[in-house]
């Protein structure tokens, strides 16, 4: 179960009961409690690197605001404001990187692992599925960014395989799935439906008309949360060890950024987790 918590520094975050009971500092962000102005109000957790690449004339946040937002989010997750938090340049692929390597050079990847006593890790989303993995016995963790391309490519099982190298057995892992776009609002084309089906994820594809909007052409929809949950279970994680009932980013404008809803005017959400000391 995800619980909403308002931290004294301002941010409103969601935490997983499974991860909290096991002692892992972590959080999924909302858009509440930051310092960014409209349209990114208020807790925009974009990277300063991506912010710098925004084309002239497009909406752009202040780097100072972004840094303050990250400091507040780290506090809300149970870390110090100035804690080292490792991220990557997300590319919708299937590369997993160790935090110790990503700390030296920011690399293209969509999942990060960190062993006991290592760096806290963070991934960003604005509709894609964030997944936090943790092993109570070894203290190791992983943070995964799973859009439909990453789900098809197998980024979730790849992260679980990477945790094996840190001594984690899948049947002892805990997993929490954070805010992401719901099946009702995630329209896809037939080619995406075909790719999901070829990846043995046909169960997460809804046929045209099931979630149709009046006056619009009926399209397929995809339940990426279900797809991720299926991959977690197939990898050996027990259903009881998976938190996978997240709120919808697209539907809840008050609490969440959504790129599909707001386009270039969307901020970024984040998921953060730290390994055990």
The CATH number linked to 49 is 3.60.140.10
Q: How far is CA 116 from CA 69, 81, 96, 205, 242, in A?
A: 26, 20, 17, 38, 21
Residue 174 located in a structural domain: yes
Non-local CB neighbours of 170 within 8 Å, separated by 6+ positions: 160, 163, 164, 235, 236, 237
Residue 34 located in a structural domain: yes
Provide the token pair at 104.
Answer: 């030296």
Distance of alpha carbon 194 from alpha carbon 213, whole angstroms? 22
Q: Is the pLDDT of residue 2 over 90?
A: yes
CA-wise closest residue to 30 among 273, 275, 258: 258
3-state DSSP assignment of residue 55? coil
3-state DSSP assignment of residue 88? coil
Q: Is the pLDDT of residue 215 over 70?
A: no
If you search the block for the tokens 């045209």, which residue do you land on? 208
The residue with greater pLDDT, 213 or 51, is 51
Residue 236 located in a structural domain: yes
Decide if 185 contacts 260 (C-beta within 8 A).
yes
> Average pLDDT in the 50-79 region?
96
Please tell me what DSSP assigns to residue 134: E
Residue 202 located in a structural domain: no
Residue 215 located in a structural domain: no
End-to-end CA distance of the chain: 24
Distance of alpha carbon 160 from alpha carbon 232, whole angstroms? 8
Residue 277 located in a structural domain: no
In the structure, what pLDDT confidence band is assigned to residue 122 with cuts at 50, 70 and 90? Answer: very high
Decide if 146 contacts 155 (C-beta within 8 A).
yes
Q: Is the pLDDT of residue 71 over 80?
A: yes
Give the per-residue pLDDT at 214: 65
Residue 264 CB: number of other CB atoms within 10 A? 11
Residue 211 located in a structural domain: no
Give the per-residue pLDDT at 216: 75
User: How long is the chain?
Assistant: 277
Residue 259 structural domain: 2-186+223-272
Q: Is the pLDDT of residue 217 over 90?
A: no
Residue 27 located in a structural domain: yes
User: What is this structure's pTM?
Assistant: 0.97
3-state DSSP assignment of residue 186? coil
> Cis link prior to 16 (omega < 30° from 0)?
no
How many domains is the chain partitioned into structurally?
A: 1
Q: What are the beta bridge partners of residue 160?
A: none
């Amino acid at each position: 179960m995800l619980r909403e918590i308002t931290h004294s520094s301002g941010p409103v975050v969601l935490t997983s009961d499974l991860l909290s009971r096991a002692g892992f500092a972590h959080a999924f962000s909302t858009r509440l409690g930051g310092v960014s102005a409209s349209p990114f109000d208020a807790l925009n957790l974009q990277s300063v690197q991506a912010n710098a690449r925004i084309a002239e004339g497009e909406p752009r946040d202040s780097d100072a605001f972004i840094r303050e937002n990250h400091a507040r989010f780290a506090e809300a997750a149970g870390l110090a404001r100035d804690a080292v938090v490792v991220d990557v340049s997300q590319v919708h692929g299937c590369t997993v990187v160790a935090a110790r390597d990503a700390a030296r050079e920011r690399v293209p990847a969509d999942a990060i692992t960190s062993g006991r006593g290592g760096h806290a890790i963070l991934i960003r989303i604005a509709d894609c599925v964030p997944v936090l993995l943790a092993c109570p016995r070894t203290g190791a963790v992983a943070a995964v960014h799973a859009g439909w391309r990453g789900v098809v490519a197998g980024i979730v099982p790849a992260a679980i395989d990477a945790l094996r190298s840190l001594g984690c057995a899948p049947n002892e892992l805990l997993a929490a799935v954070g805010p992401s776009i719901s099946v009702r609002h995630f329209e896809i084309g037939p080619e995406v439906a075909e790719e999901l089906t070829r990846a043995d994820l046909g169960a997460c594809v809804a046929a045209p008309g099931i979630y149709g909007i009046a006056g619009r052409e009926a399209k397929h929809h995809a339940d990426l949360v279900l797809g991720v949950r299926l991959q977690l279970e197939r990898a050996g994680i027990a259903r009881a060890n998976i938190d996978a009932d997240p709120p919808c980013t697209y539907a809840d404008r008050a609490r969440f950024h959504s790129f599909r809803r707001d386009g270039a005017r969307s901020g970024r959400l984040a998921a953060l987790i730290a390994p055990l000391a």
